Structure 1
């Protein structure tokens, strides 16, 4: 099984280029970093984990994922570089498609695009997107980006026929949709994504029939499943493998190297 890692890359954590280099040296397959453009201080939206009254500090210190991954790309030669996740409804699709394609071009085709819909109401609405429309807007933005990555002359609702280079090295990079299992999410996966990234990995077995049904309805092969932000054990990874899962992404704390590296070393034993 392929094993990747994810960490909130911030201005306070271990430098992302150092983490990328360390992960590649230890044989990990991928590095994913998340996105929060900003955190409004009103905090009208409760922390979704529900186990603490305030957001962890890293949420308000998060680096831009594509800029951070460019440093990871320059420090490595093999490691796949993923957004986990990119908040597609909060981004201009033309600018983001160009940035992703540029990163893929410069890294030799190593980019993976994990996308999500977002949970922080005020963050989303500060981008001019009504919270209830975030899935619709994210879908539209991803489809627009895929057109720009794929077509020599690309057009989509919102922009006229256009040229946009560079193109990604191996065609449109794989898109994975993060979020909880359900018919709405699986409809998105089946329409435009290579797979599903369930957070943590619990409940996957029960969700697989519905995901398979959504893919069959869309007339496409079964989507990949990549458990994301999991706390790996040998037993858990074996369980994932028994389900036919080929990749998992392990969570690292957002901290300095003396905190992160011992955990990375422990995870490396599962490679």
Structure 2
């Protein structure tokens, strides 16, 4: 099981390059960066309790652009995997987004992991023209367009919410492979969609099942019922607690990657201290 970290980079916290280089030196395998473009002041959508709600943390309002941040990190690190955790794909043009991912993966020599999600803030999505009731099929079809552009010399896709006429696009991801895709979130709907079309389910541990000993067997059953070999669909853990006992439970269940939560900070020094504290778990696991 690989161990990474996830961090909300903002204009008040640590420099992403300093943070990423420190994470790599501590022995973390990957760095995942979340995404929110903006937050409408209306706050019609309550912050999910599963993510720490109902109060909305200020770091959501100040988040750096995801792909720009990962590009900066890629240029100043050696082996650190670069994850979107997650890209709110419904809010983007899939052709342009496919180009961004492919370019970053090509230039970083295959270090990108494409995590996508459905989002939770209705008004944020609506500001981008997203039909909230159809966000599931929107994300699926946009990802299918991206995968076609990554893997086909003459790429095309016909979907309900997004399509692509036969098209040429290079560069392809590094060494001609596709980019591994995670579908992030929690709950039965995300689980079902991940079982149907993602490379892996990027699960946020629910409060009632932090060890995922109920959730993972249920996911594998759903994948089998969907006609997929459960062993061919991975499980990764988003915002995992830095608790060695819980992480060992994940490892025993075949989790491919646990991405540890590092508390966002109001100052660079505090953010770096928070990373250092979380890094202590690596020695305990080893």
Q: Smaller-chain TM-score range?
A: over 0.9
Match of 1:194 among 182, 194, 199: 199
Deviations 1:66-113 (A, max 9, x none): 111001101101000000010011111000000000110111110001
Structure 2 unmatched ranges of 5 or more:
none
1:7 is displaced (CA, Å) by 0.6
Q: Per the alignment, in what secondary structure is the counterpart of residue 254 of structure 2?
A: coil
1:172 aligns with 2:178: yes
1:239 is displaced (CA, Å) by 1.6
Aligned-partner Cα distance in 2 for 1:166–1:8: 29
Aligned-partner Cα distance in 1 for 2:256–2:165: 39
1:36 is displaced (CA, Å) by 0.6
Q: How does 1:99-248 map to 2 (within 5 A)?
A: 99-157=100-158, 158-170=163-175, 171-182=177-188, 184-200=189-205, 203=209, 204-216=212-224, 217-222=226-231, 223-248=233-258
Deviations 1:175-209 (A, max 9, x none): 11111131x32332123212111114652211223
Larger mean CA deviation between 173-182 and 111-120 belongs to: 173-182
Aligned-partner Cα distance in 2 for 1:156–1:126: 26
Aligned-partner Cα distance in 1 for 2:65–2:277: 28
1:264 is displaced (CA, Å) by 1.9
Aligned-partner Cα distance in 2 for 1:219–1:236: 28
Relative to structure 1, the CA distance from residue 134 to residue 52 in structure 2 (aligned partners, 3 Å threshold; closer, same or farther) is closer
| RMSD (Å) for aligned C-alpha atoms | 1.7
Aligned-partner Cα distance in 1 for 2:217–2:54: 36
Aligned residues of 2:12 and 2:268 also touching (Cα < 8 A)? no
Aligned residues of 1:228 and 1:248 also touching (Cα < 8 A)? yes
Relative to structure 1, the CA distance from residue 267 to residue 52 in structure 2 (aligned partners, 3 Å threshold; closer, same or farther) is closer
